[in-house]
Structure 1
């Protein structure tokens, strides 16, 4: 019911690029799947982070994969090669092809990985390899460049962060599809070569703004000198949009939704709830359209709020309205991004719940779902959730980071940020393993993608 609930709700919301899952069979597209037999899993790393990259319309279109390499840098080519194989093996074990059905991935590898056969087992259509700089004293020789050319001939694309190279590598840079501008690095290292020199020398390469941490940095990428070169953006983008959006406000439909949710939690009689729906004809139309979709399987058409309450139940109607809070502003890219973030958190936390307790899993889902309500409504979180009278464990986790759900909420936030230093102790405290956590998080991301994509396709068919 929950999946149908969300599918029906997201129909017609925030159209993304209508991209079909990759069916590529050329070199580099081979991924294990159903019917191919079960291969022996490759050795895996611990938790592998995948953080979103946004396009200029501020839609999530790619992920930046990363993993903590330990306390010190890798010292030898052998260490780099071993690490690369672990990274590539981990992604293959995750069946990354499914995760990238609608998105791209930036995967960090060393120059030595260009000779590794595992590199060609990830889908060329979806993967862009981010090349790490050579070790001290190493040079990029002709054989590695030839290997790079062959991989590009098979459709692979590559990215580098020029500021991390000791000297300009003209032969390497001119082959790159993306240059990375890291705003967390010292400003002179980052901005001067990119905004003044590299555009003229390598005009075809597109730029990725990485670790964007302020509204000024985001505005520079979108509107400043060299903004035409920027194609993708990484960092805490969604919280920054509020300061750039002059039209940010809570609209009338959102206020009505919050009031109805308050009435439902207060167990108010159906007459008062129906009166609230009648104040907003669009909201009433959306409810009746949802409840009469074939996937709900009701024998006759529902025409009243009273019938809707009887058939759906108050809890299901409450969930539907929770989703509708995010979809009220269909033109707002920020709302769409917050919806995806909340879905990922909600699904991931639900996965961490006790399989024997439906109530706990539902409350964990609600915790993740409402964790971004402050950003959506532009209010402090305690004020935003106050009308909803949420269960005590949900409120404790959201407002005080305490109580029964606190560690699982903290783990969801740490996984989202790719913060291994926070993930490790939380995993130990919850008596979990990093490998399933990576799997759970990847499945949550995939689930959110599928929900949003199905909603888009449903609108196209309407």
Structure 2
């Protein structure tokens, strides 16, 4: 795994905190000439108007990755994200799949050519990593000539350019760059027709779609657990120790799996266990992700009791699964157990919650239909909680598990989960 920081100082927790319950994010569609959506520009509507900072950039991307609502923020389309130059070097960009992200780069104001040249290596590095870059019309000015070859998209504001100016910029961009042009702030049919006649093929504005608000929910982990995870990562602890902390907090486990399997941003293969997620990200990226969680935290109430119940359920299913299947499959049983209460934790229907995780079909079927051996284990865990003797006896027989095995595993799961509050 990646080397982090030598001789780390421990991270200290203050009072028990939680993440914000959610943030208001607006998204506005960017469409082609057939009015098919090719991407969405995201806006952070939770911040004070005009207070656009590197920190707000990080929080916007983090919220988009971790969003736990019933509606995807961007699906499989591109996302256009406004950036400050300070945020372009942020570690949060290492957590996303650059193929799906377009970074909107602001101009430097009345910049000297020396400053434009000084910023170029960072922009080149981002493009080499796979990010696409979008600029406004100022990139067509002579001072920004070093940036122009890096432009994948250029936005032209139809509200501030007279028709002859607009045409001149379109012609210049066509001769001197390979960028796709976006006519933005299109509010009338006349503006749309003008841009189309001049050869522009991408559009954004009220004429097509107003920004729509999405209340982006976040599932709150315990701040104490985030701090414990950060300390383990900084000391380069074992995978087993890191996995144990993640598995003891339903919020941590959900946010990590959500990040890994985010639609359009995750890896090509589905990740179905916490251990897989840890090994895939590595210590360095996990540390950055956990630091973002901590940055987004605020004073609040501890995680609800339902989170503790989910941890017990997951641990019980994992322990029982060890008698029935190989260790890597037993890890998947834990995922089923801890996420089986997502509907109550997120206050959305379970099928919508399961869709957020993009789990393999057999694990989704276990959660939603109690199908296959994982579904049987879930039914058994629910029977242990409710005291449903009939279900207990029926499923125990199907799984060939004795009452003694199940009761012992249940006690072990309760004791394991209790260590959270005693730590």
TM-score using structure 1 length = 0.37
TM-score for both structures, normalised by structure 2: 0.40
